[in-house]
């Protein structure tokens, strides 16, 4: 039985014999003595192989060892000697050596300073994972799963598995379809329907570490198959669910990072998040917000703003600005780069104003539209944006969506370029999302999914669906959406109305949701829940830039598994 691990052996068992298994990491040959670093998933230990203390056959074998050979050793633990005494490090003086497996030359160097191409790394993922930084991520992932299970078990949630092969339903993203034995199945985007049916069963505190599948475009935080922490509960309102999940997240940070949040997570309404940050995933580490300015500038200047950027015909438009403290140091070349950048997101450009001396009025400013600005405008902008000397203002005028998106990505780009991120953990709950949205062809779709309970009246839902809001909540930390949830619809008639508004025919309802709606006829408790992305939580807690680094065998952004092709 294996008892000891490299990196775990220490001074507490000095002068005793240990048995170790591992990979040869590095060899230093000093003739009659070899120094060898042995590596396993918990760290490294230095072995001392002395020709005077090891039999001839074993020493000859040791001389033939190469990097990544797998060996077993038995040795005596000693403090490492130095010129003036001993260090606090230990060495293992080998008395027995066995070669367990050889290795051919690796396709790339472990711990190489030069970045290895991701495609090569993933093709030889079993080698890639030998690196300490990736082993650590996988170990932390395991700890996170264990701690989540422990937390939910203590809070009387029960773990229940739901089907992988299920009926085709409509949940938002594209679905992977499987055909076998003349049957058609869908891989689950989430256990959404099954966990709601469990609430109808009276199993009122459910959780699952669930495998989910979504046929969607891949980004740095997405995979076609992923793992989510799925939670559903009955007889708890939105705030109660938020409290439980927040407590769980706080416990992970405390136990794994030794970090304690000093207060409850902030809560912001969706509309406020969009107005202030241009996104429903605000990163509170960036000290820049979006401010409306249309109402503080005269109509004549409004026309100049619009004509300068884009003459709008839509009634839905927005004129907004962001303020960059100390931004006057930006060169014209940098400003032009940002103007070109926002054009990638639909904006027609930006108006910029540098504030050198706010007390000098127009004489203290620099801007391409300076001749159109009056002292009244400067006064109004100063008051609205709290302008000070050294500030740079960027203004954008266009449709609401284009302004929000353009200024949001501009804030992120500026923060990255100028290193404006505050070193902190910045969690926030975004609540009360729209119930519906329009897709690119104008079809009404669910903002999240069709099972979310509304906060709006039935008349508003039916006659003005785009103005209806949901009893929903997303958890964001440092701009990363960890997951989201909602209170669910628990009324048969209301659920059918929502389906009808989404354009689902009676035939579709019968074929895809008949079993679900039938369960509603037998009584449905008030219930709600959420799903958190396990991969994203691991990515956040390990400070990884890419979700693929925290998954043992990830797909590339082309849906390919390089290891198996």
State how far the Cα of 414 lies from the Cα of 431, in Å rounded to an integer. Answer: 27
The residues facing 178 across adjacent strands are 185
Task: Tell whether 534 is in a known binding site.
Answer: yes
Residues in Cβ contact with 527 at an 8 Å cutoff, skipping those fewer than 6 apart: 196, 199, 204, 232, 233, 234, 235, 236, 487, 488, 490
Task: Tell whether 161 is in a known binding site.
Answer: no
Task: Tell whether 215 is in a known binding site.
Answer: yes
State how far the Cα of 185 lies from the Cα of 187, in Å rounded to an integer. Answer: 7
Task: Tell whether 529 is in a known binding site.
Answer: no
Task: Tell whether 448 is in a known binding site.
Answer: yes
Task: Answer for the pair 538, 546: CB distance below 8 angstroms, yes or no.
Answer: no
For 486, which DSSP code? E
Q: Which two tokens stand for residue 448?
A: 């999240």
State how far the Cα of 229 lies from the Cα of 483, in Å rounded to an integer. Answer: 9
Residues in Cβ contact with 42 at an 8 Å cutoff, skipping those fewer than 6 apart: 5, 6, 7, 8
Nearest to 556 by CA among 228, 227, 220: 220
Q: Which two tokens stand for residue 472?
A: 């929903």
Q: Which two tokens stand for residue 310?
A: 């884009």
Task: Tell whether 466 is in a known binding site.
Answer: no
Task: Answer for the pair 70, 36: CB distance below 8 angstroms, yes or no.
Answer: no
Task: Tell whether 488 is in a known binding site.
Answer: yes
Q: What does the H/E/C string look like for 145-164? A: HHHHHHHHHHCCCEECCCCC
Residue 543: count other Cβ atoms within 10 Å of its Cβ.
Answer: 9
Task: Tell whether 216 is in a known binding site.
Answer: yes
Nearest to 167 by CA among 182, 159, 178: 178
Q: If you write DSSP's letter for every residue of 516-530 in order, what string do you get? A: HHHHHTT----EEEE
Nearest to 192 by CA among 217, 175, 216: 175
The residues facing 18 across adjacent strands are 75
CA atoms within 13 A on the CB side of 260: 1
Handedness of CA 144, 147, 150, 152 (dihedral sign): negative
Task: Tell whether 232 is in a known binding site.
Answer: no
State how far the Cα of 282 lies from the Cα of 290, in Å rounded to an integer. Answer: 11
Task: Answer for the pair 517, 495: CB distance below 8 angstroms, yes or no.
Answer: yes
Binding residues: 171, 214-216, 223, 448, 481, 488, 533-536
* Known binding-site residue numbers for ATP: 214-216, 223, 481, 533-536
Question: Which residues are annotated as part of the binding site for L-aspartate?
Answer: 171, 214, 448, 488
């Amino acid at each position: 039985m294996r008892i000891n691990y490299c990196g775990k052996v220490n001074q507490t068992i000095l002068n005793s014999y240990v048995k170790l298994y591992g990979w040869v990491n590095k060899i230093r040959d000093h003739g009659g003595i070899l120094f060898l670093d042995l590596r396993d998933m918990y760290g490294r230990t230095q072995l001392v192989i002395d020709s005077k203390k090891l039999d001839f056959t074993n020493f000859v074998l040791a001389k033939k060892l190469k990097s990544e050979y797998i060996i077993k050793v038995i040795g005596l633990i000693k403090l490492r000697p130095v010129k003036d005494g001993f260090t606090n490090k230990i060495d293992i003086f080998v008395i027995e050596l066995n070669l367990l497996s050889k290795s051919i030359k690796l396709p790339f160097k472990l711990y190489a300073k030069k970045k290895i191409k991701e495609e090569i790394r993933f093709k030889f993922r079993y080698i890639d994972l030998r690196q300490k930084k990736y082993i650590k991520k996988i170990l932390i992932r395991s700890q996170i799963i264990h701690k989540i299970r422990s937390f939910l078990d203590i809070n009387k949630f029960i773990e229940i598995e739901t089907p992988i092969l299920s009926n085709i339903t409509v949940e938002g993203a594209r679905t992977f379809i499987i055909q076998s034995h003349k049957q058609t199945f869908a891989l689950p985007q989430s256990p959404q329907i099954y966990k709601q049916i469990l609430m109808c069963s009276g199993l009122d505190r459910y959780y699952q570490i669930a495998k989910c599948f979504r046929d969607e475009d891949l980004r740095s935080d997405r995979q076609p198959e992923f793992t989510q922490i799925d939670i559903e509960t009955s007889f708890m309102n939105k705030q109660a669910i938020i409290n439980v999940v927040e407590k769980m997240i706080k416990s992970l940070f405390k136990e794994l990072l030794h970090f304690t949040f000093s207060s409850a997570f902030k809560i912001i309404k969706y509309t406020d998040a969009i107005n202030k940050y241009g996104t429903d995933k605000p990163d509170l580490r960036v000290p820049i917000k979006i401010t409306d300015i249309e109402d503080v500038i005269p109509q004549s200047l409004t026309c100049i703003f619009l004509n300068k950027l884009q003459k709008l015909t839509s009634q839905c438009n927005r004129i907004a600005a962001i303020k960059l403290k100390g931004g006057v140091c930006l060169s014209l070349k940098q400003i032009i780069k940002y103007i070109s950048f926002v054009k990638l997101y639909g904006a027609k450009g930006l108006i910029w104003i540098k504030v050198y001396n706010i007390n000098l009025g127009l004489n203290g400013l620099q801007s391409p539209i300076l001749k159109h600005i009056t002292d009244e405008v400067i006064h109004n902008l100063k008051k609205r944006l709290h302008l000070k000397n050294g500030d740079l203002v960027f203004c954008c005028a266009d449709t609401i969506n284009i302004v929000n998106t353009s200024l949001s990505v501009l804030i992120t780009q500026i923060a990255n370029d100028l290193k404006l991120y505050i070193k902190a953990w910045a969690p926030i709950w975004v609540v009360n999302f729209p119930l519906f949205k329009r897709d690119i062809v104008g079809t009404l779709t669910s903002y999240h999914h069709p099972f979310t309970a509304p906060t709006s009246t039935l008349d508003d839902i039916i006659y003005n669906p785009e103005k209806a809001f949901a009893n929903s909540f997303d958890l964001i930390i440092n701009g990363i959406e960890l997951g989201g949830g909602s209170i669910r619809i628990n009324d048969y008639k209301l659920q059918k109305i929502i389906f009808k508004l989404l354009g689902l025919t009676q035939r579709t309802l019968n074929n895809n949701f008949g079993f679900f709606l039938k369960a509603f006829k037998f009584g449905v408790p008030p219930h709600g829940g959420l799903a958190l992305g396990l991969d994203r939580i691991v990515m956040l807690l390990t400070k990884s830039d890419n979700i693929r680094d925290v998954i043992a065998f990830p797909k590339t952004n082309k849906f390919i598994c390089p290891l198996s092709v």
